[in-house]
Amino acid sequence: MTDAAARVAAVVVAYNRADLLRESLEAIRDQTLPPVGIVVVDNASTDATGQVAASFAPLASVTTLARNTGGAGGFAVGIATALETLDADYVWIMDDDSIPTPTALAELVAGVQAAGAALGASRVVWHDGRDHPMNTPRERPFASSARKERASSASAMTVRSASFVSLLVSTEAVRAEGLPVVDYFIWNDDFEYSTRILRHRDGVYVPASVVVHKTAKFGATDVDPGERFYYEVRNKLWMLRRSRSLSAGEKCLYGASTMRRWIRTIRASERRDVLRAAFSRGWRDGWRTDPQPNADALADLGSVADTVRAAEPTGRP
């Protein structure tokens, strides 16, 4: 059973998909467990995204950014805004092409509470009902029997990471661990953030909570990614070098699996020259640069940077 007192703030990051955003917001509004509010971050869209979001007021509020900050920046701003403006126990995070089924939130909250977890991830399917390979949560390796039993008792699976498509995170964990890293822009921002939240906390995959991810194509992000491969390489190196989300042993484990995946991705590509060039730039920048503190990365956006700064843990930039 879902705790009727659970208060959830939904956070949606939107960019130039006004029709899908409308469908997503309608689905969020019509949940059997309605959120206390929806924060929509318009990432400098050039279509009707802002008007669509505004039409859902007062349930939804819109933060319009002057430039596209990517998924990472959008979610950092959205989560920080939710903490500032909504009194909630959880934040529920998703893209504008994520369409939750009517009981998705209720089932997700119920699974998280039954397992005593800080984070929960939904089952994400494509529009034809197949599990979406882009949003497969990673089971926690070497999980203890007690951890597995807690998850199993909630009809869930213990996980080490999950994607930003229907991710439920306790606001207590957010206040302790901070926000996604803005400079990641796209790719690995959800991996870094969810593993950071779950470094010392339980997280569960709740298959009874179902969300449709209406991507244009069915496939994982590493299927011939083109120029965007730069972000995969740079951000993964940033994560392995700088993030506190993984233990030393986990960094070795994930680092080795990452190298194998990079080799497979390049070999399978029809544009190997593009991927090799993106890899070279990502490798260089991943070693030579570091992500900025979030408030610095958003300094040109005025009060948005102040909102983000206020949401970061005391003593961290």
- Note the pLDDT tens digit of each residue in 95-125: 999 999 999 999 999 999 999 999 999 999 9
**E-strand spans in the chain?**
8-14, 37-42, 60-64, 90-95, 98-100, 119-125, 138-139, 157-161, 167-170, 203-213
Q: What is the rounded CA–CA span in Å between residue 179 and residue 72?
A: 9
Instruction: Please name every residue paired with 161 in a beta bridge, in sequence order, or none if there are none.
Output: 138
Q: What is the pLDDT of residue 28?
A: 98
Model pTM?
0.94
Share of the chain above pLDDT 90, in %: 83
SS3 at position 290: coil
Which of 41-55, 86-100, 247-261 is the least confident region?
247-261
Tell me: pLDDT of 2 over 60.
no
Q: Cα angle at 39 between 87 and 244, to 5 degrees?
A: 80
Mean pLDDT (the chain, rounded): 93
Tell me: pLDDT of 208 over 60.
yes
Tokens read off for 304? 């948005």
Average pLDDT over residues 131-151: 86
Average pLDDT over residues 22-37: 97
Architecture of domain 8-221+291-311: Alpha-Beta Complex (3.90)
Average pLDDT over residues 250-257: 92
Contacts of 263 (CB under 8 A, 6+ apart): none
Torsion of CA 219, 221, 222, 223, to 10 degrees: 40
Which single residue is written with the structure tokens 């993106």?
A: 278
Number of Cβ within a 10 Å radius of residue 278: 22
Strand 119-125 to strand 203-213: parallel, antiparallel, or no bridges (unpaired)?
Answer: parallel
Q: What is the rounded CA–CA span in Å between residue 282 and residue 237?
A: 8
Q: What's the pLDDT band for 142 if we cut at 50, 70, 90?
A: confident
Tell me: pLDDT of 317 over 80.
no
Number of Cβ within a 10 Å radius of residue 96: 29
Q: What is the pLDDT of residue 315?
A: 45
Tell me: pLDDT of 135 over 90.
no
Stronger pLDDT, 20 or 137, i.e. the higher one? 20
Which of 241, 244, 281 is CA-nearest to residue 258?
241
Strand 60-64 to strand 157-161: parallel, antiparallel, or no bridges (unpaired)?
Answer: unpaired
Instruction: Please name every residue paired with 39 in a beta bridge, in sequence order, or none if there are none.
Output: 11, 61
Tell me: pLDDT of 219 over 80.
no
Q: What is the pLDDT of residue 1?
A: 38
Q: What is the pLDDT of residue 79?
A: 98
Tell me: pLDDT of 136 over 70.
yes
Stronger pLDDT, 183 or 220, i.e. the higher one? 183
Q: What is the rounded CA–CA span in Å between residue 292 and residue 181?
A: 8
